[in-house]
Structure 1
Amino acid sequence: MIDEQTRTWLESLGSLDVRPGALAGVVVVDVTRVVAGPYCSMILADLGATVIKVEHPDDPDYTRTFPPLLEREGAPELSGFFAQYNRNKLGLTLNMRHPDGRRTLERLVEKADVLVENFRPGTMERLGVGYDRLREVNPRLVYAALSGYGQHGPYRGRPAYDNSAQATGGLWSMNGPAGGPPIRVGTIIGDLGASLYGVIGVLAALRHAEHTGEGQLVDISQQDSVLTLTENAVVSYTTDGTIPQPLGNQHPFVRPYELFACADGFVFFGGYTDKFWKISCEIFGEPGEYDAHPDLQKMAVRFDEDVYRTRVKPMVDRWFADRTKAELEQLAGDLVPLSAVKDIGEVVADPQIAARDMIVDADYAGYGSLRTFGSPVKLDRTPPRARGLAPDMGEHSAEILRGFVGLGDDEIAALSESGTI
């Protein structure tokens, strides 16, 4: 935990929002890049941790060049992608390949609570700052390692991206149109899932460290993370040998529960229980439609594939064909599960999203306002801080080394001259 001297230093940084948060006092050294890792540490930062983002002075996080890009005259372009995943962090440049860089990292770790890295297993060890070494420096350190396949196993050394995890975790094989080829999930779910599990692991390990003074390795695999997102696929296979196939927008054992076309787009409709089916017939159908089809009143009948295909789905298609998304949502109200399928523009303008403060503005001087997603974690006593800025490269290097590590100005100057920072 940070000492009083460090707290005073943090509060002196006018550019940093240091309102108390649930993780206030926790210091995180973040040596990650791209998404699986930066997102993990961003969540910790949103929750109040002091996160120090470490980048190589000559090889920064390359998402700094990812679109969309904000422009300011006489200054480098600012990546909205980078800013979204690195808000609320302090920026430090450090060449960990240089002996002085390794020693400086160890001095950072000596006072920190958490280190997060997402290199291929073995990389930190080759640099001389792997878990075993850093555990000697700080026995209470929580060391979170996010990688494609984890720190052990036959795939340990393989390079991996999000698509690698979707492919080897089983999710890709299940997704796509019925009878068609598999299609990857349309977002980096392997990266994001690993980051979320990384946060859970860090919080659990921090609790243990606070009680015992003992840190530990938090080993997160993207493949593992994706596997846990495959719903009932594992138990279906291990129980009766069923291998899930792409089903398009349908559910394997619930009907109706899928995408339906309407006058101006598509909606999701999930009125499959007997209760919801009766209400749906009453609010969407013709008068007396429910009683006109007594054999469809039982869930088991509607589940039958032929009955669903020839009678139930055509009925729902007819209900929705001439109505807009807004009309259908208004009719459904709080009565049955029906949701408009919204594009991201509609989501950003959604009143529920606004009510939940899920689109936030951050003012980057000279660049203008950047709107990003907020925090889905709602805490009434220590709310997350989701409006912070991402640091420029090395923006806080001198302040961190002076105020947190305790280096003198001559030592900092020497590190700068040697290219270590």
Structure 2
Amino acid sequence: MSERPETNMTTDLGAITGMLPAGLSKGALRGIVVLDITRVVAGPFCSMLLADLGATVIKIENPKDPDYARDFPPKLTSGSGEEFSGFFAQFNRNKFGLTLDLSTPEGKDVLRRLARRADVLVENFRPGTMDKLGVGHEVLRRENPRLVYTAISGYGQTGPYRRRPAYDNSAQATGGLWSMNGFADRPPVRVGTIIGDLSATLYSVIGTLAALRHAEQTGEGQLVDVSQQDSVLSLTENAVVSYTADGTVPGPLGNEHPFVKPYELYPCKDGYVFFGGYTDKFWRLSCELFGQPELAGDPAIDTMAKRFTPEVYEERVRPLLHGWFAERTKTELEEIAGDAVPLCAVKDIGEVVEDPQIAARDMVVDVTYPDFGEVRMFGTPIKLGGTPAQPRGLAPKVGEHAGPVLRALADLDDEHIAGLREKGVI
């Protein structure tokens, strides 16, 4: 096995990490270099999470065809009329921008140079695309045996569907989740967010960190192969074992749980609440809080097993809950439940952004873009006590940091970089 090239990595990284937000270079992944050859969400979100945790992430885009998420709404507008995508900003913060035309010999050479100094490469092309360009996993591992190569795709790097084009909805459809979502008397409904992309993102981060740990211990990198279809399938709770154990094919249940009751959406005076007081303890406390303690001993509904029975639930429990909730507001119901039983308002995003718990957890952060003003975006759910993540960085403009990155990590001088610009390689 060839050795990784000797470099003064601390000094090299110092040349570019000085441009990061204060504190980011002290994150848990400080010193880790990530090459991000991704677009839209699944790949960019993966590398962004690594960046928030302190990794030095280089976003590499085609100079002729940059990440088309740059055109997604909502848009930030400068005083001169220039636009910048808030969507792109949220998923690409804390990254350095580089453009590279991988269809050219010079572009391939630059990527190979960068791969020698990198720890991770993340890409989300269809399987075989990077190989066709001549810079796939097998080629780059020869440049750097320690490289962790994370590939995110619709159906994975193996199997009969591997070359099929795919989007988030493809994963929801073929992973089983779409068929289970919605109401039984209506057509299936997609989950209201890009859960195929987002679940693949999270598994990719986990796989990348596991592979990094292995590389640190052994000097051997590896391919991290994450499929959106696989990721969605793993989110279907008990559906697989229900089918394999007794032949049941789960269908849409609306807001109900397959067997736990009461555990769903309930209307109230000004909207809806979730109530999950299904255990005997929570049921008893709920009866007390809503002024009917004697119901906890009612022989028809005094045990969890009885309340799980569909007929009992519909005839006795649901009407009871309707009486408790219908004439009270979301706020009143949350105040009654307090810290005692699981009851919460079903909030729209406007309410969530202003939620005091969200504020206390720093989950909506303000980021100021020069010339564009302030944009509020989600923070990071990963809270580390000693090396906290930093979610307030900027997303790069197209190719914004080409000079510093290529000088620091590809050992190119200004003349070489200028030549690449002239040829349209960067």
What range is the shorter-chain TM-score in? over 0.9
Name the structure 2 match of 1:85: 91
Query: 10-19 or 235-244: which moved more?
Result: 10-19
Of the three residues 289, 312, 316, the one matched with 2:321 is: 316
Quick check: 1:140 aligned with 2:146? Answer: yes
Look up the equivalent residue of 1:387 and give its one-letter code: R
What's the secondary structure of 1:19's corresponding residue?
helix
Name the structure 2 match of 1:28: 34
* 1:294 CA displacement: 2.9
Query: 182-191 or 270-279: which moved more?
Result: 270-279
Alpha-carbon distance between aligned partners in 1 of 2:43 and 2:157, rounded to the nearest angstrom: 15
Alignment of 1:322-361 (within 5 A): 322-361=327-366
**Deviations 1:371-410 (Å, cap 9, x if unpaired)?**
1000000001000010000001111001111122110111
Alpha-carbon distance between aligned partners in 2 of 1:57 and 1:192, rounded to the nearest angstrom: 26
Name the structure 2 match of 1:64: 70
Contact kept, 8 Å, 1:109 with 1:137, in 2: the verdict is: yes
* 1:11 CA displacement: 4.3
Alignment of 1:18-417 (within 5 A): 18-74=24-80, 76-286=82-292, 288-291=294-297, 293-417=298-422
* 1:365 CA displacement: 1.0
Look up the equivalent residue of 2:341 and give its one-letter code: V
**Deviations 1:72-94 (Å, cap 9, x if unpaired)?**
03363010000000000000011
Contact kept, 8 Å, 1:2 with 1:27, in 2: the verdict is: no
Alpha-carbon distance between aligned partners in 2 of 1:9 and 1:67, rounded to the nearest angstrom: 33
What's the secondary structure of 2:116's corresponding residue?
helix
In structure 2, the gaps of 5 or more residues are 1-6
Alpha-carbon distance between aligned partners in 2 of 1:321 and 1:35, rounded to the nearest angstrom: 40
What's the secondary structure of 1:181's corresponding residue?
coil
* 1:214 CA displacement: 0.4
Contact kept, 8 Å, 1:30 with 1:51, in 2: the verdict is: yes
Look up the equivalent residue of 2:141 and give its one-letter code: R
Report the TM-score, using the length of structure 1 for normalisation: 0.97
* 1:364 CA displacement: 0.3
Q: CA 1:279–1:400 in structure 2 vs 1: closer, same or farther (change >3 Å)?
A: same
Look up the equivalent residue of 1:137 and give its one-letter code: E
Look up the equivalent residue of 1:231 and give its one-letter code: E
What's the secondary structure of 1:120's corresponding residue?
coil
Alpha-carbon distance between aligned partners in 2 of 1:317 and 1:18, rounded to the nearest angstrom: 50
Contact kept, 8 Å, 1:23 with 1:44, in 2: the verdict is: yes
Contact kept, 8 Å, 2:20 with 2:94, in 1: the verdict is: no
Q: CA 1:16–1:62 in structure 2 vs 1: closer, same or farther (change >3 Å)?
A: farther
Look up the equivalent residue of 2:402 and give its one-letter code: S
Q: CA 1:369–1:70 in structure 2 vs 1: closer, same or farther (change >3 Å)?
A: same
Look up the equivalent residue of 2:12 and give its one-letter code: T
**Deviations 1:349-372 (Å, cap 9, x if unpaired)?**
111101101000111012111110
RMSD (Å), alpha carbons? 1.3
Alpha-carbon distance between aligned partners in 2 of 1:407 and 1:352, rounded to the nearest angstrom: 48
Alpha-carbon distance between aligned partners in 2 of 1:287 and 1:121, rounded to the nearest angstrom: 61
Alpha-carbon distance between aligned partners in 2 of 1:254 and 1:289, rounded to the nearest angstrom: 19
Contact kept, 8 Å, 2:93 with 2:395, in 1: the verdict is: yes
Contact kept, 8 Å, 2:24 with 2:390, in 1: the verdict is: no
* 1:160 CA displacement: 0.2
Contact kept, 8 Å, 2:184 with 2:252, in 1: the verdict is: yes
**Deviations 1:228-265 (Å, cap 9, x if unpaired)?**
00001111111111110100000111110000000000
Look up the equivalent residue of 1:358 and give its one-letter code: M
In structure 1, the gaps of 5 or more residues are none
Alpha-carbon distance between aligned partners in 2 of 1:75 and 1:100, rounded to the nearest angstrom: 35
Q: CA 1:11–1:231 in structure 2 vs 1: closer, same or farther (change >3 Å)?
A: closer
Alpha-carbon distance between aligned partners in 2 of 1:221 and 1:19, rounded to the nearest angstrom: 31
What's the secondary structure of 2:417's corresponding residue?
helix
Contact kept, 8 Å, 2:13 with 2:408, in 1: the verdict is: no
Alpha-carbon distance between aligned partners in 1 of 2:165 and 2:114, rounded to the nearest angstrom: 28
Contact kept, 8 Å, 2:284 with 2:293, in 1: the verdict is: no
Contact kept, 8 Å, 1:295 with 1:301, in 2: the verdict is: yes
Name the structure 1 match of 2:3: none
Look up the equivalent residue of 1:280 and give its one-letter code: S
Look up the equivalent residue of 2:269 and give its one-letter code: A
What percentage of residue pairs aligned between the two structures are identical? 65
Look up the equivalent residue of 1:93 and give its one-letter code: T
Alpha-carbon distance between aligned partners in 1 of 2:316 and 2:18, rounded to the nearest angstrom: 69
What's the secondary structure of 1:266's corresponding residue?
strand
Alpha-carbon distance between aligned partners in 1 of 2:261 and 2:24, rounded to the nearest angstrom: 50
**Deviations 1:155-207 (Å, cap 9, x if unpaired)?**
00000000000000000111101332211100000000001000000000000
